[in-house]
Structure 1
């Protein structure tokens, strides 16, 4: 088979200030910047990414590959019209000159919202379909947090989603998509079910109930000989548009069996709605509870998770740590290029008096002005070693470990979710030797840090990944969808939607 491949990934927090520009896609962080043609394979090789897995499996299967463009940016605000049109235009343009292809593989996220297009991913697939015609097979990998839309289901022949959160199976999902591509050319039957409630990120982990048993049902569905593939996406609730929320899609060669399987998954989701909730703590409450725990306590600073579009520079947890005079504690990673630059200018061992954090101004906080000891410096270039960021060539700019009392603060110059122990080791911190570890992450940190923990607490401090959906000003959801499990139903203002 002659197969074209491309990717364009963004998870859009429509409530986050600012926009995501072409430059944001061009700048590498944990993942590469924009890569094209023959640059794609070496750029993603060895990384936990769907494109890496697809390319590796495609080689085994003997596909004749046409590589186009791959682009990714950290979760953030609306994608600009200019960035979207430039990257999609290049993707479609490269496909148009590629000659005959039997199939296309697209590595997408599924929660992209643009200035001018609400369903960014559906629009990408639609344009590829329009350019190549109805006969070409289109297989798409989507993130576990995808907001799957009817347009995506109708225009793609097969949607394949990650099955883990933390996403330790991204590379594996790419391999799975390659193996399914041949069967997808036979145009399997599809069944699509959209769920009537949204799930905040911090309750979506597949390592815990109720999502763990949901994923077991998904895998069980595929054991039926008539079912080709079953996909579940938990949705990204910070994308305010009408088709936001969880969904299931089932594919197979028997229409009745496909519909029955989708119905079973939908019922399982509905039955588990009350279980998609948990405890949220203020920083001071979490620190007080941590005092009574003998082992290591992980604090998830979920609202400042840059992996959901937050700034990674809020200081609510740090301020609470200082006020509580905790010892043997770490907080990571505060993005503050000015503080990192000051630390590098002063050098290791120096004491510097600086205003740390809250530089973006979006959290309405004051920086923490204090004197910090510069314990260790780093250039921000290292390789991820944990299950989620495995093999990722991090480029976080100048980094520093600053100490204030018994608290060590990891500072970077670029935003990146604190989900890999190497982010701490790079500046001289052994996570296993600390009792309280605060991480700017919602769930991905569990992949590498959870084995250290006696207890994990979800903390609510300032940040744009708002944990309580009741505080969000939704305006574009579909009528009747519950904005959180067992929550109130959305009612649009000013008329019908």
Structure 2
């Protein structure tokens, strides 16, 4: 089947309660995501990676489709996308769609989207972008998009696109597979000549991020059921569990499907999700109890205990610079109990990393590490940790990634240091990246497998690479910008019929 397709991408997960916004520079830094790229350079850079647009491009080549690259950009999760950044990105994509239409017959548009972006001037950023493209191309041209599992899917998104499909894993190890599923949906749409039937239902409660992992129940069983229903009904189902920190009317989980039996399949999966609600119970610990439990487990374990510092997860809008878990480690004497076998990372503090590089390995520095940042409660997080830190190791921050969450072969952290205080090792970086790959510890001489306790600034993505080596995984609720429990947030726009917790 010969067809011409404009392809592009816009990815941002917006925590409207977070302290920092995503401006144009954020989409050009290349921290969590590859930096802004346009045209043929996008094809060359992204076609081989574990990323939806990479999977789509590989599937398109197999089908002989002609791809017309626009641009692709993603920014580290944060507060709102600025008006300037959104309009620049939307403008490039819409201009390229318009040009492609004028050059020849355009058959389709594929977009690699997140689905939970909120701009300063549009609560439904993806719905706005898809609607602008639909207005340009009319009803004949197919529009298909892939979405993150945490998408807050809106009626406007479902109406503007011919088909949407979401990841089925968290940690997200099926990103490229999702791009390939988008290609299959596009193939079905082109063969049919019109949209397939679609049905969607909202889940009437928010799901905390930490219970969304598909490496544990109930999510694991629900996605197995989703795949079985796909096969039984010849549909393509998606269950986007939502990003529960976006104060918009459409925040929350949604189930939808494309295909003749879409309504039947959606109703069956929806029923499995909503009952019993108790299956989604959140289990979190305060900082010092989390460390105390980790110490008790570690005493008789041969493998590390991993603690998720979930409320400072830079993959969910935090800045990865709070110190609540670090204070707890010191207060509980973790480093004295297990000297140089307790590590925390990544802590974003460019000034501390620069000072460590200037001093050199072996030097002792008097530092104020981390920051007290505004949180969703209106209060600030724990005070910086002041003390004398020994420079344990240094790195230029160029890290080759080896874990299953890697979008690209490497990441740039900038000047990076391992600082030691009271026997605790702290990996301090100059860029914000969540701790989702063991190499991010290893780059400064911290061997994760040899540690007794690891504190990871992440919510769930770390599980992909750390669960295989962990004796136990605990979730800690230290003060930070990303609420572990959505019910803690000061909602204004969430509809009254959507419960803030299961």
The two structures have a TM-score, normalised by structure 2, of: 0.94
CA contact (8 A) 2:33 2:407 kept: no
Alignment of 1:186-265 (within 5 A): 186=192, 187-224=195-232, 226-252=233-259, 254=260, 257-265=261-269
Deviations 1:144-186 (A, max 9, x none): 0001111111111111110000001101111221233110232
Q: Contact 1:313/1:357 (CA < 8 Å) preserved in 2?
A: yes
Q: What secondary structure is seen at the aligned counterpart in 1 of 2:278? A: helix
User: Superposed, which structure 2 residues align to 1:35-434 within 5 Å?
Assistant: 35-99=37-101, 100-185=105-190, 186=192, 187-224=195-232, 226-252=233-259, 254=260, 257-293=261-297, 294-295=300-301, 296-326=304-334, 327=338, 328-358=341-371, 363-389=380-406, 391-434=408-451
Work out the CA distance in 2 between the residues paired with 1:392 and 1:236: 27
- SS at the partner of 1:39? helix
Secondary structure of 1:122's counterpart equals helix
What is the alpha-carbon distance in structure 2 between the residues aligned to residue 468 and residue 153 of structure 1? Answer: 28
Q: Using the TM superposition, give the Cα deviation of residue 291 of structure 1 relative to its aligned residue in structure 2, in angstroms.
A: 2.1
Report how far residue 103 of structure 1 moved: 0.8
Contact 2:12 2:77 (8 Å CA) reproduced: yes
Alignment of 1:404-483 (within 5 A): 404-483=421-500
Q: List gaps (5 residues or longer) in structure 1.
A: 486-497
8 A Cα contact 1:30 1:389, kept in partner:
no
Alpha-carbon deviations, 1:59-88, whole Å to 9, x = none? Answer: 121110100010100000011111111110
Match of 2:13 in 1: 11
TM-superposed deviation, 1:360: 5.1
Structure 2 CA distance, aligned partners of 1:184 and 1:263?
23
**Alpha-carbon separation, structure 1, partners of 2:225 and 2:457:** 31
**Matched residue SS, 1:13:** coil
Q: How many residues align?
A: 481
2 CA distance for matches of 1:470 and 1:198?
9
1:359 Cα offset (Å):
6.2
Q: Tell me how far apart the structure 1 counterparts of residues 243 and 42 of structure 2 sit (CA, whole Å).
A: 27
Q: Offset at 1:454? A: 1.2
Tell me the distance in 1 between the aligned counterparts of 2:359 and 2:486: 43
2:32 and 2:432 in contact (8 A); partners too: no
3-state SS in 1 of match to 2:48: coil
Q: Secondary structure at the match of 2:100?
A: coil
Tell me the residue number matched to 1:494. Answer: none
Partners in 1 of 2:248 and 2:266 — Cα distance?
24
Shift, 1:390, TM fit: 5.2
RMSD: 1.3
**SS state at 2:471 partner:** strand
Quote the Cα distance in structure 1 between the aligned partners of 2:96 and 2:485: 43
Q: CA deviation digits over 1:39-61, x for unaligned, max 9?
A: 10222243221111111221121
Between the aligned partners of 1:334 and 1:306, the Cα distance in structure 2 is: 10
* CA–CA separation in structure 1 for the residues paired with 2:372 and 2:382: 9
Residues of 2 paired with 1:179 and 1:404: CA distance? 53
| Structure 2 SS opposite 1:106 | strand
- Deviation, 1:322, is 1.1
In 2, the alpha carbon distance for the partners of 1:120 and 1:84 equals: 8
Structure 1 residue runs of 4+, over 6 Å off?
none
- Partners of 1:64 and 1:284 lie apart in 2 by 57
**Are 2:34 and 1:27 aligned?**
no
Secondary structure at the aligned position of 1:382 is classed as: strand
CA shift for structure 1 position 370: 1.0
Offset from partner CA, 1:262-301 (integer Å, 9 cap, x none)? 1111111111421111321111101111122122211000
Distance 2:171 2:305 in 1: 19
Deviation at 1:369, TM superposition (A): 0.9
Contact 2:170 2:215 in 1 (8 A): yes
Contact 1:48 1:392 in 2 (8 A): no
- Residue 361 (structure 1) shift: 6.1
State the 1:94 CA deviation. Answer: 1.0
Contact 2:151 2:243 in 1 (8 A): yes
Q: Mind listing any 5+ residue stretches in structure 2 that lack a counterpart?
A: none
Would you say the 8 A contact 2:374–2:481 is kept in 1?
no
Distance across 2 between alignment mates of 1:367 and 1:37 = 44
